Amino acid sequence: MEDRSDSRDETKPSWKDPECKALMESATTALFRNNAFRITGLAVDATTRDIHKHADRLRIMEELGQGECCHNSVFALRPPPTVDQIRQTIQRFSDPETRIIDEFFWFWPEEFGNSRADPAIHALLSGDCDTASKIWTARESNPASGTTAMHNVAVVWHLTALERAHYTEGTEITPSQQGILDETWRQAMKRWHHLMQDDALWEKISARIHQIDDPRLPTGFSQRMRHALPLALAKMHAELALNYIDQGRLDLAKMHVHLLRDFVKSAEVMRIAVDLVLASAKRRLQESTLRVRNEARQSPEKADQLAGSLVAPTLFLVEVVEIFFDETDYVGWEQLNETVSVCTDCAILFQRKTGKNEVFVDLLRRLQPLSTDEALGNRIAEAIGVGKKNIEISLQEKQAQRKKAASSARPMNTVEVLPIKKPSWLTRMKNKILNRTTK
C-alpha cells in the first residue's frame, strides 16, 4: 500500500485549508437528509459492489412505484428518495472524501467490514432504533467499545434535533417543546465535544481511510477533519439561527447562539462560522449597494426608493450581528456602515433634487439606528436637523402666504357704507309736528 500520509503541518487551523471543503459543504441543516447511507439504507461499510447492486434495485422499485417498501430502515426518508436523488447519491459514493464525511455522520459498526454481525446495526436496518440506542447507551462508558457507542449516540441526538427543526419550520412551538429541542441539541453537542478530543475516534477514522485504500484520500485527511469539526458544527448552528432570525423567531435563534457559546469556546471559530453562513447575503448587499450608488447619481429623483431597497437587507444583517456579537466584536460592521453611508448620500441627492424634506427626514430616521460608526451617526443626525429646519421654514412660509392671501381677498380703496338706522317713534312724532306747523 502506498504512503498517502499528508506532509503538511496538521496543527494549523484546517478551516482555512481547502481540503476540508467536503466537510464544510456537508455541514448544513440538510446534513442527514443528504447523507448517502440514509438515502440508500446501506451500512457505512458497504462495498462498491454492494452500493451499485442496491442502487440498481432501488431505481427499479422506484420506477415500478414500489420504492417505499425498500426504505424500512430507521430514519428512512419520507417520502422515499426519487430516482434522481438515488443517481446523485451514487455520485457521492464515488468521491472518497464525501464518502468519509457521510460515514462519519452515520452509524458505525463496532468493527468496519462486519456490520451484518453487529446487533445494533442489524436492529437499525430492521427499523428498530430503540434496541440499537439501548445497546450503544449501555456501552458508552465501556473503555473498549465506548468510542463507537458514543459516536453513534451523538449521531442519534444530532439527527433527531435536525429532524425536529425541519418538521417545526414555520410552525409555532410551545416553551416546553423548545426546552425539549434545546436538550436534544445539548445531548448531541456534549458528545461531539468529548469526541473531538478522543484520540481513539480519530485513529478509527485513519484506519478506515487505510481500509478504503483510495489514492485520492490521504490519511492526513482525518486530522484535518478533526481540526475542522468545531467549525463545521458551529456553521450548522449559525445557519439554523440565521433561518430563525429570517422567520422572526428570535427565541429559537438565541437558543442556538447560546448553544454555540456553551460548546464552541473559540471566538474566532464562531466569527468564521457566522461569516460563512452570511457570505451570500453580504455579497448580495455589497452588489446592491454599488448598484444603488450608481443609479442614484443618474436618477437622483428616485434615490429615496433606491436607498429604501437597502434598508431591509441591512436591518436583517444588523439583527444577525447583534444577536451573535457585541457591537465591538464584529469586523463586518465596516461593510454595513458603508451601505448606510451610501443610503445617506442617496437621501441627500434626493432632497437636493426634489426638496421633499419630509421624505428626506423619514429616510434618515430609518437609517439612524443601523449605523455603529460615530462619524456617520453624527452626519445623519446633522442631516436630520437640516431637514427638520427646512420643514419648519417651509411651514412658516406657507402660514405667511395664507395670511397674505386672506388679506388680499378684501377689495382695496372702497368707501365703507354705514348701515341706515330706522328713526325712533319720538323722532317720527317730532317730524310730524314740524311738518304741520310749516303748513
**pLDDT tens digits, one per residue of 232-257:** 999 999 999 999 988 889 899 999 99
**pLDDT tens digits, one per residue of 317-357:** 888 888 888 655 666 788 889 999 999 999 999 999 999 99
Rg (CA), the chain: 37
Average pLDDT for residues 416-432, to the nearest whole number?
Answer: 57
Closest listed residue to residue 377, CA positions, set 427, 313, 333 = 333
Sign of the four-CA dihedral 55, 61, 64, 69:
negative
Which grid coordinates belong to 16? 482555512
Place of cell 436523488: 85
Closest listed residue to residue 256, CA positions, set 167, 188, 176, 194 = 188
The phi-psi region of residue 95 (left if phi > 0; otherwise alpha if psi is between -120 and 50; otherwise beta) is beta
pLDDT of residue 68: 55
Output DSSP code: residue 413: S
For residue 116, the Cα-to-chain-centroid distance in whole angstroms is 41
- Under 8 Å between Cβ of 40 and 115: no
Q: What is the dihedral of CA 342, 347, 352, 357, to 10 degrees?
A: -160
Q: 30: how many CB neighbours lie within 10 A of its CB?
A: 13
Residue 28 above 80 pLDDT?
Answer: yes
**What is the C-alpha separation between 116 and 124, in angstroms, rounded?**
11
For residue 271, the Cα-to-chain-centroid distance in whole angstroms is 14
Average pLDDT, the chain: 84
Average pLDDT for residues 15-43, to the nearest whole number?
Answer: 83
Per DSSP, the residues of 63-82 read HTT-GGGG--STT--SSPPP
Confidence of residue 8 (pLDDT cuts 50, 70, 90): very low
Closest listed residue to residue 271, CA positions, set 158, 279, 252 = 279
**Who wins on pLDDT, 37 or 16?**
37
**What is the C-alpha separation between 231 and 23, in angstroms, rounded?**
10
**What is the C-alpha separation between 358 and 383, in angstroms, rounded?**
12
Q: Is the pTM of this model over 0.85?
A: no
Confidence of residue 305 (pLDDT cuts 50, 70, 90): very high
Confidence of residue 164 (pLDDT cuts 50, 70, 90): very high
Angle between helical axes of 374-408 and 357-367 (0-180°, round to 10): 160
Confidence of residue 13 (pLDDT cuts 50, 70, 90): very low
pLDDT of residue 152: 96
